[in-house]
Structure 1
Amino acid sequence: MALLRWDPTDMDRWRDDMLRMWGRMREDWNFDNTRPRTHLHEIDNGYLVEFELPGVDPSQVEIDIDDQSVSVRGEFPAHPIESDQRAGETFHAVVSFPSEINPDTAQADYRHGLLAITAYKARGRRRRLELPATQPS
């Protein structure tokens, strides 16, 4: 039987992997009732992010966007629309984009309790690199 040498950092890596896994499951299952349901769709030249915010006053919603993610904050209405949401509680949701976007071209629209944010992908700039001429050694 072969013996394996124990590395104390193995436990740290295992713990980090488990936390990442549980974090993704938590996002997918939406355990937090004060976090609105979110949907991320890839479109032709960017992403469409939807936040379900029934009854929320759009003038009270704060949206921050950068080249990696969009953050939405606000407060659920005083009269609950869905039984699983607590009235008057604040919410905060952050969605990360799979690739870099251009925040200057992002647009937001709120209709019938659905906040839709369209963010367009950053255009990658390509350039050619030249190797300096060197003598073979």
Structure 2
Amino acid sequence: MSDVYFGTDLFSELDRLQRQMSSLFGGFPSSLRSSRFGTFPQINIGTTDDSIEIVAFAPGVDPSKLEISVDKGLLSIAGQRTAHEEPSTEGVRQYAQERFNGAFRRVIELPQQADPDKVLARYVDGCLLVSVGKREASRPRAITVQ
């Protein structure tokens, strides 16, 4: 038992502080590992027994111009999205644009069990699908009791 006594539960106080900070900055990700709000491309990361699966939502990107690399446990996705050519309409001035155009780079920290020699990438329907295999030693295995 500790000699230090807090009048309240320390963890509930930290939770309360985090909620206050979240409401102060409204709408931003709550995780320290989350990227800044509005980054492109948005990504989903998941795992299976055999691999780490990354989906980058990148519609309008030329797949031949995507650069994917793995170095020191970091997966890097870089490329450029060009502006969509709109039919010329005389007298129309644009005052808002929500679609991202320009160069981008996303860097994702891979877990230790990722094998950089087993990376597969494909581009399907505006999504970049990257599969990173896991090292053989990190895969779950059943142990038989004798």
TM range (shorter): 0.5 to 0.7
Flag structure 1 segments of 5+ consecutive residues without an equivalent: 3-20, 126-137
CA 1:43–1:53: 2 relative to 1, 3 Å: same
Aligned to 1:109: 122
RMSD: 2.8
Aligned to 1:128: none
Task: Report the TM-score when normalising by structure 2.
Answer: 0.59
**For 1:1-137, what aligned pairs fall within 5 Å after superposition?**
24=32, 26-27=34-35, 30-33=36-39, 35-66=40-71, 68-79=73-84, 83-87=97-101, 89-124=102-137
The alpha-carbon deviation at position 97 of structure 1 amounts to: 1.7
Q: Secondary structure at the match of 1:124?
A: helix
Flag structure 2 segments of 5+ consecutive residues without an equivalent: 5-28, 86-96, 139-146
The alpha-carbon deviation at position 105 of structure 1 amounts to: 1.4
CA distance, structure 1, for counterparts of residue 52 and residue 32 of structure 2: 20
Q: What's the CA shift string for 1:4-41, capped at 9, x where partnerless? A: xxxxxxxxxxxxxxxxx9772651xx4244x2101100
* Paired positions, count: 101
Instruction: Give the counterpart letter for 1:109 in structure 2.
Output: R
CA distance, structure 1, for counterparts of residue 58 and residue 134 of structure 2: 25
The alpha-carbon deviation at position 46 of structure 1 amounts to: 1.6
